[in-house]
Chain A
């Protein structure tokens, strides 16, 4: 029988994990990095150059609306174009001849010149089982046919380029909302009455939860071994957040999950929804993990953070926001919306996850489902003595 451990709020019965070896246990984590998985290590993926940046978008948009070239140049030169985004560039859409808010109506402008990323390597999974001309090869697993078309759309826009070590700038800005909002938790469980073997396990579930508390940070990043309570909000149970799979040689790889849909933080992004999702997690010597989740995401969902902040974001250099939407729709690979316009509505995309050890506390049982192991980094592994 699995041991249920209670942490009542008032009188605390402590469970301590160091030294408890002969017991079933799960392991908790709090997510510390969540970002589009990009692999733009150099400029070789953009042989035709980058997609237009703020002042270029401003220049061709205003030109299309008939502004005098001299005025455009003056505004660009004086760096004033940023403030004109809100007033002029954001209303550059035309519907029935009338100006419309372009970020709400991204199809209301002619197709902007978004340049696709043309590199060979990209992170993710072969979701459709095929190897197509637009697919990547994963640089870590060497798997061919990796479906991550969103990375092609975003890979030549400065603001959305990134690498594993330096995640996408656009995400980082919005990530501040995560720091102030609900933490996101992962629990790894081996579903048997034995300690979790981080190297090899056959029947493993990895479950995402939204935490009640904000993540705890210190000067050196996410604090480890903090205890987070699963958010008891009933709406959250509508989500589907469990992956099944196995751990082999220290790497968890999930089976295909029809849907991985989790409710995130209202301020960052209300919901993330992956179809045909797969998850891969590598457990690190310092007790944390690094991994990827891939699947087909609604383009409206991917577009949300760009559209949400568009006037400001575009002015700051997010690239042509309407162009991003049009490109996402153009290259979307599944889920044709027959009722509406017959276009595809989901695009393949991979996200990268980094997480540090945490304890997960369940309000309904008064404690975590299983004893959890505290994980400390092991300095001697890094120490140059």
Chain B
């Protein structure tokens, strides 16, 4: 294991930024992240770089080597069995092996500590981390002008499982039902950017007065509050700003977006669950809806929980779930069940990447304009290992990233991935994480 860099300040830089206080930072931005590296697409469409987080639980479970032997370019490399489904997209992804979470002696809470460490940058002594997750810091940076700062879907039917946290460690719940997701994005409040006519609705106009009245209540309602409660109200008023923005957007004629098409069919209601076939169906429908939301610039940041941390994915008619199998199949055996589920996961991962790549946007594809981070909660689930937690990226974020590589991070903290992702989106930050999870080292190998 590599020694963690000692840094002069233990102060979490991000926290200051996100509290909204004026923290002046002289940040050494990598030049390549600055504008000028392709401000617009070839057809003149403004570049809109998007972020997607795709989460899967249980890591890889078969106890075999899931990463390729060779590092560097994946050209000509045959992918190991568990990730073989990614073969069809391997020039569009990066494989990151041997990323660790380093708990500094704090307890490893199975299926939780792994994503807290990588995604919130901290292994807590207690149960929760009161810091935002990487996706939130990115969506705060890029989602300001869109209707939804971020949109999240959970494919297993449980709105409570989420690895996305707002400032203060407030969990963001996910939509579980494609019909509800459709209604939220493409329902009555959707303004079609390509509609021939645009007339602001006076009824919506009047609704602005609701927002301003609510804003006016701030001083009185905050009176005598302690710091923690005041912070909770701050979050309310932050949320109110999004609501205000949504109203404003309904009143403003949007720029036409060639690639935007409102999906015709509102998906039917059905009983969502973590039964594998149902989860896959939900994943497909949600993926389509979220992609359309990106194309119509309703959001620039999406979250997809393919499976939960501690995934209870289960084939219909079978009593035992994936998670139970991952603790029951002997590591010494063929591990058929675990392999089955982890390959179902990589199949869907590949489907998601292919799906984003299937949408044309100008002279490139939606995937080209997106950075997808795909990661998990564990290394080997059998032991809830915090070592070698699998991670992938996909897409080139509008030309800011290179793909088609395998990088061995040799036990580095998983926060390096989050830091790199945030820097791609120009989040003003040069360090991320606390204690041994703190890092200032961008994964420069994948930066274009």
Whether chain B is bound by chain A comes out as yes
Within B100-153, which residues are at the interface with A (CB < 8 Å)?
none
Within B297-317, which residues are at the interface with A (CB < 8 Å)?
317
Q: Is the CB of A384 within 8 A of B271?
A: no
- The digit string for A243-256, where 1 denotes a CB below 8 A from any CB of B, is 00000000000000
Q: Is the CB of A385 within 8 A of B320?
A: yes
- The interface residues of chain A, by DSSP majority, are classed as loop
Q: Is the CB of A385 within 8 A of B271?
A: no
Q: How large is the interface on B (under 10, 10 to 19, 20 to 34, 35 or more residues)?
A: under 10
Q: A383 — nearest CB in chain B belongs to which residue?
A: B319
B43 at the interface (CB under 8 A from A): no
A140 at the interface (CB under 8 A from B): no
Chain A nearest CB: distance from B434 CB in Å? 43
B255 at the interface (CB under 8 A from A): no
CA distance A384 to B320 in the complex (A): 7
CA distance A385 to B271 in the complex (A): 25
Q: A384 — nearest CB in chain B belongs to which residue?
A: B318
Chain B nearest CB: distance from A383 CB in Å? 4
CA distance A260 to B415 in the complex (A): 76
A379 at the interface (CB under 8 A from B): yes
| Residue with the highest number of chain A CB atoms closer than 10 Å, among B271, B319, B320 | B319
Q: Is the CB of B317 within 8 A of A382?
A: yes
Chain B nearest CB: distance from A40 CB in Å? 26
- Across-interface contacts of B317 in A (CB, < 8 A): 382, 384
Q: B271 — nearest CB in chain A belongs to which residue?
A: A219
- Across-interface contacts of B318 in A (CB, < 8 A): 383-384
CA distance A384 to B328 in the complex (A): 14
- The digit string for A296-326, where 1 denotes a CB below 8 A from any CB of B, is 0000000000000000000000000000000
CA distance A384 to B318 in the complex (A): 5
CA distance A379 to B316 in the complex (A): 12
Within A338-385, which residues are at the interface with B (CB < 8 Å)?
379-380, 382-385
Q: B319 — nearest CB in chain A belongs to which residue?
A: A383
- Across-interface contacts of A380 in B (CB, < 8 A): 319
- Across-interface contacts of A384 in B (CB, < 8 A): 317-320
Within B305-359, which residues are at the interface with A (CB < 8 Å)?
317-320
- Across-interface contacts of A379 in B (CB, < 8 A): 319
- Across-interface contacts of B271 in A (CB, < 8 A): 219
Q: B318 — nearest CB in chain A belongs to which residue?
A: A384
- The digit string for B222-243, where 1 denotes a CB below 8 A from any CB of A, is 0000000000000000000000
Chain B nearest CB: distance from A382 CB in Å? 6
Within B249-278, which residues are at the interface with A (CB < 8 Å)?
271
CA distance A382 to B319 in the complex (A): 9
A-B contact pairs, 12 of them (CB 8 A): A219-B271, A379-B319, A380-B319, A382-B317, A383-B318, A383-B319, A383-B320, A384-B317, A384-B318, A384-B320, A385-B319, A385-B320
Residues of A at the B interface (CB closer than 8 Å) are: 219, 379-380, 382-385
Known contacts A384-B320, A385-B320; 11 further A-B pairs (Cβ under 8 A): A219-B271, A379-B319, A380-B319, A382-B317, A383-B318, A383-B319, A383-B320, A384-B317, A384-B318, A384-B319, A385-B319
